[in-house]
Copies of this chain bind each other. A is one copy, B any other.
């Protein structure tokens, strides 16, 4: 039974990967045109934590950056560039004051994650497929729907600022 279960897991995982690696763009032969990620990587909410952050301004959220196994391994070993197969996820939530916590602390000081906000974003490393954008495919999903290519085209220009760390802003925190 164990062997069958393992086999089933392996097949299911493979199926997921194959579905995931399927061409994500309808472009034919446009080698220089950026290609984006249009499927949500399965199971990302179970990935391990890379770091957390808070964005003020228009974003006004609190966020967590998670990584798949390849991402966590590369971060912990301090190896750059990230290997193909690395995926980094950014989840974000409303930045909400917690009355409950504040009551306990005896003063207003506590902010917690509220409802999901500002969508979910991914960077997927495939140095050949995404060669025109530093080896990374970019994705943004709102309520499960991928953002327009016009939106995704704004990702790489900003990430270029951090080319020295393989285009990844977030640092791993222990």
A interface residues (Cβ-Cβ under 8 A, vs B): 45-49, 51-57, 59, 62-64, 66, 93, 95, 98, 100-101, 103-105, 107-114, 116, 158, 161-162, 169-171, 173-174
Contacts and interface: CB of A to CB of B under 8 A. Distances in A.
Which of A98, A109, A113, A169 gathers most chain B CB within 10 Å? A113
A141 to B, nearest CB: 13
A116 B52 CA distance: 12
Nearest to A72: B46
Nearest to A115: B173
A168 to B, nearest CB: 11
B110 A53 contact: yes
A103 to B, nearest CB: 7
Given A57-B109, A169-B101, A64 B46 contact: no
A173 B100 CA distance: 16
Contacts of A63: 52
Which of A59, A101, A103, A114 gathers most chain B CB within 10 Å? A101
